[in-house]
Amino acid sequence: MAHMAFSSAAVNRSPEHMAFDPQKPPPLCNLYVSMLLHLGIETGRYSNSTGTLTGLEFAR
């Protein structure tokens, strides 16, 4: 399985490792879109993103 690691200080109520299907992982740019939206930067796409990462929650 493919894994992405996140700092527990930046992510709330989410595992530190999120498993994705290794045969069809989401584009890394989905993480960037998620982070931009969290920072208040409105964006619908970034490079080859297909949206945001599902299951990612940031601390408030």
Q: Are 36 and 43 in contact (CB under 8 A)?
A: yes
Q: Which of 18, 22, 21, 59 is nearest to 38 (CA)?
A: 59
HSE on the CB side for 52, CA within 13 Å?
A: 14
2-52 pLDDT tens trace: 445 544 444 455 556 778 889 999 999 999 999 999 999 999 788 999 999
Q: Categorize the per-residue pLDDT at 60 as very low, low, confident or very high, splitting at 50, 70 and 90.
A: low
Print the domain residue range for 31: 1-60
Contacts of 58 (CB under 8 A, 6+ apart): 10, 11, 12, 34, 38
Count of domains forming the chain: 1
pLDDT at 8: 44
Pairwise CA distance, residues 46 & 15, whole Å: 24
